[in-house]
Amino acid sequence: MFKPLPEGLRSPRVFGRLLTAAFVLCGVAATPPLQAQPIHITADLTDAPRKLYHADIDLPVQPGDVMLTTPEWIPGNHRPTGPVSDITGVVFTANGQTLHWRRDDTDMYEFHVTVPQGVTMLHAHLDCIVTARVTQKMAVLEWEKLLLYPAHTPVREIPIQPALKVPAGWGVGTALQPVGGVAWPVPTSGTVTEFAPTNVEQLQDSPIIAGEYFKEFALAPEISPKHYLDVVADDPADANLRPSVLAAVSNLVREASVEYASHHYHVYHFLLTLSDVAGGEGLEHGQSSDNGVGEKGFADDKHQLAESDLLAHEFTHSWNGKYRRPYNLYQPDFATMQQGSLLWVYEGMTQYLGNVLAARAGLKSQAQYRDVLALSAANLDAKPGRDWRPTLDTAVAASVLRGGNPAWSNWRRGQDYYQEGELLWLDADTTIRKLTGDKKSLDDFEKIFLAKGGDTGPLIVPYHFDELVTDLNQVVPYDWASFLHDRIDEIHPRADVTGIEQGGYRLVYQDKPTDSEKTLLTTGRGGKRTDVWYSIGLRVNHDGLIQDVRWNGPADQAQLAPGYKILAVDGKLFSNDALLSAIRDAKGKTTPIDVIVARDSFVSTFHIHYNGGEMYPSLERVAGTPDYLDEITAPRVKEAGGKP
């Protein structure tokens, strides 16, 4: 017999979520009757320069109590980032009369409206206060900012017809397809562009960029389906990307087509904003990606290095993360918590493949790939939080670790499943090569795992851990379950550098930074900064503010802490050169490095006992071993423009 539900689960809202989740876990989609008409939503970005978006939404309804919701758990964000706190000006009307509404007492994303008899269409107006990804010259619309739809219904089952209005003269980039032969990509002034009908799940997955200085570039024309790079910038000169960048992104399309042997989209748009105001971004979508860099992010080779894997990473997510998605990250709605235990696959494998494809495509050189890999491996290897927190917990706890304060982040650990996953999948790649005499590689696994079903349109196919093991064993028999469990579930005080070593290199430390590290320290997203992490254990910005202190390192033992500001070093006013000079001068000596520090409203002197000199990570070639690293990053498409 059935036991009665506990009191806390008796509300229709909670029970509806549980019922939907049960259908998904059983592999059967909950399929309530589809609405006879789609929702119609018109997004109005004409107020974007004032940091406001507007929406008018017509929802088919029946008389009685209606529960409507906005998204809470946004795919790809790995935490509840729905912009409900920025949604304002909510007004419901029907037959010309304003209706009373009430927010749910426990679900802040949900609105309750009583629809009068005889009403079949409910109109909603709402505004959104936009705090990022918008300037006087451009705007980015991630649809969750304006969406409103029936609660407790799988979002893939809710039909919706989107439309868009933008400021006069602004171009538009999106994977959504316009209908009715509207001029594209620049709509006629004051008109509304209608898009083809879709469902709420796919609309949320189809962002828009718009701007006064808009460019669209066709990529790799011989590849089907079609690919485009859509660019908006605050300065018209920035939108004209260098020919070398366009060639490399075209090569990226070709390399990915070879690596993944499939496409899971009807068209693909790289959406790219170039702005020092709009902020950085990297968010995956099935048929597009939302990429934001600084104004000069691709202006020259030096600035490009910091962004070199961005497009490749988000593009790879179309296969790994959007098409193939961990079963517990894919939920039937945007209200149910997304669970992150397999993020070391979703993000970690993508981190590995994104960097590899960036090198194969020419967005970075093979030497730069090795330099950046050294920085990543060294950072993990010098992260004391490994002593207590396994990689698995950084994934499970992703929703509370994302966006955290950088202070003591090396002891707490953060989103390490990215870089830990990169090393793990490099380890797997080189292990396959080693086991098969270099006849097979992780490339063979990708063609199995990511190409199931061949070419498809936008589709989500969830997977479990056991499928990873089965597919790896199909490439080469091995105890892959233990291989993965050991590296993810267990405590490891040191980073997994096995893949680097099997790849023909070893992680070493030298007294000068590599050319790549010099470039990243001066042009990276964090701005100019000093990194003496592997010597005295500090990360310091250009004006002496300590951003982080390595737990149990020399600076920690001297009782320094994040948030302190260094005023002077060994009797000299702080500067990057003064700090580095003090570390060099202390090498081999017993005298400490003295720093004068401002903390809160006090000034104090601290003594750092360290005499090892400067230390910067690099990869050193091991003679007589297979050079798998360069083999892995060598282009698969031999001639630019040639068919894969």
Q: Is the pLDDT of residue 263 over 80?
A: yes
DSSP state of 456: B
Question: Which option is the CATH number for 526-616: 3.40.50.11540, 2.30.110.10, 2.60.40.1080, 2.30.42.10?
Answer: 2.30.42.10
pLDDT at 303: 95
**Residue 579 pLDDT > 70, yes or no?**
yes
Whether pLDDT at 335 is above 50: yes
Burial class of residue 600 (count of CB atoms within 10 Å of its CB; 0-12, 13-18, 19+)? exposed
Alpha-carbon dihedral of residues 40, 45, 51, 55, nearest 10 degrees? -20
User: Which class in CATH covers the domain with range 37-170?
Assistant: mainly beta
Residue 530 is predicted with a pLDDT of 84
Q: How confident is the model at residue 186 (pLDDT cuts 50, 70, 90)?
A: low
Q: Is 60 exceeded by the pLDDT of residue 642? A: no
pLDDT at 12: 36
Q: pLDDT (tens digit, 9 = 90+) per residue, 538-552? A: 999 999 999 999 999
- pLDDT of 25 higher than 70: no
For residue 181, name the pLDDT band (cuts at 50, 70, 90): low
**pLDDT value of position 155:** 97
Buried b (16+ CB within 10 A) or exposed e, 358-396: bbbbbbbbbebbbbbbbbbbbbbbbbbbbeebbbbbbbb
295-329: per-residue pLDDT in tens? 999 999 999 999 999 999 999 999 999 999 999 99
Out of 173-187, 221-235, 413-427, pick the least confident. Answer: 173-187
In this structure, how many other beta carbons lie within 10 angstroms of the beta carbon of residue 256?
29
For residue 538, give the nearest of 522, 515, 560 by alpha carbon: 560
For the chain, the domains span: 37-170, 335-511+624-633, 526-616
Lowest mean pLDDT among 26-40, 69-83, 119-133, 383-397: 26-40
What does DSSP assign to residue 104? -
Using CA atoms, how far apart are residues 58 and 37, in angstroms rounded to an integer? 10
The two three-digit tokens of residue 286, written as one number:
């099935």
> Taking a C-beta distance cutoff of 8 angstroms, is the pair 342, 330 a contact?
no
Measured between alpha carbons, how far is 583 from 625 in angstroms, rounded to an integer? 35
| C-alpha span between 163 and 55 (Å, rounded) | 10
Distance CA 379, CA 308 (A): 19
- pLDDT value of residue 603: 98
Rounded Cα–Cα distance for residues 251 and 85 (Å): 41
pLDDT of residue 405: 83
Strand (E) positions, 307-397? 324-326
Which backbone phi and psi does 219 adopt, to 5 degrees? -120, 145
- For the beta carbon of residue 598, count every other beta carbon within 10 angstroms: 14
Q: Are 270 and 253 in contact (CB under 8 A)?
A: no
Q: Is the dihedral of CA 439, 442, 448, 454 positive or negative?
A: negative
- SS3 per residue for 445-482: HHHHHCCCCCCECCCCEEECHHHHHHHHHHHCCCCHHH
In this prediction, residue 2 has a pLDDT band, given cuts at 50, 70 and 90, of: very low
- Give which of 344, 468, 448 is closest to 396, Cα–Cα: 344
Give φ, ψ of 477 to 5 degrees. -65, 135
| Percent of the chain residues topping a pLDDT of 90 | 89
Q: For the chain, first and last CA: distance in Å?
A: 60
Distance CA 119, CA 94 (A): 7
pLDDT band at 381 (very low <50, low <70, confident <90, very high): very high
Residues 138-177 have pLDDT tens digits of 999 999 999 999 999 999 999 999 999 999 999 999 999 9
pTM for the whole structure: 0.92
DSSP 8-state symbol, 494: S
Higher pLDDT, 641 or 636: 636
**92 DSSP β-pair partners:** 99, 124
What is the pLDDT averaged over residues 269-293?
Answer: 97
Q: State the pLDDT confidence band at 523, using cuts at 50, 70 and 90.
A: confident
Starting from the edge strand earliest in sequence, which strands make up the sheet with 546-549, in order? 529-532, 538-541, 546-549
**349-353-354 Cα angle (round to 5):** 110
Contact 572, 578 (CB under 8 A): yes
In CATH, the architecture of 335-511+624-633 is: Orthogonal Bundle (1.10)
Are residues 132 and 172 in contact, defined by beta-carbon separation less than 8 angstroms? Answer: no
Q: Residue 638: its pLDDT value, please?
A: 74
| Residue 131 to residue 147: CA distance in whole angstroms | 17
Cα 446 to Cα 319: distance, rounded to the nearest angstrom: 10
What tokens does 249 get? 């992104």
- The whole-chain average pLDDT of the chain stands at 92
Q: What is the pLDDT of residue 150?
A: 98
DSSP state of 35: P
Q: Residue 231 belongs to what H/E stretch?
A: strand 227-233
Q: How far is CA 206 from CA 13, 199, 375, 380, in A?
A: 28, 11, 34, 34
Pull the structure tokens for residue 252: 């990226």
Of 417, 502, 431, nearest to 473 (Cα)? 431
Using CA atoms, how far apart are residues 280 and 301, in angstroms rounded to an integer?
18
- Give, for 361, the enclosing helix (H) or strand (E): helix 348-361
Give the CA-trace dihedral at 490, 493, 496, 502, to 10 degrees.
Answer: -120
Cβ-contact 317, 291 below 8 angstroms: no
User: Stretch 248-263: mean pLDDT, rounded?
Assistant: 98
> What is the rounded average pLDDT of the residues 501-517?
97
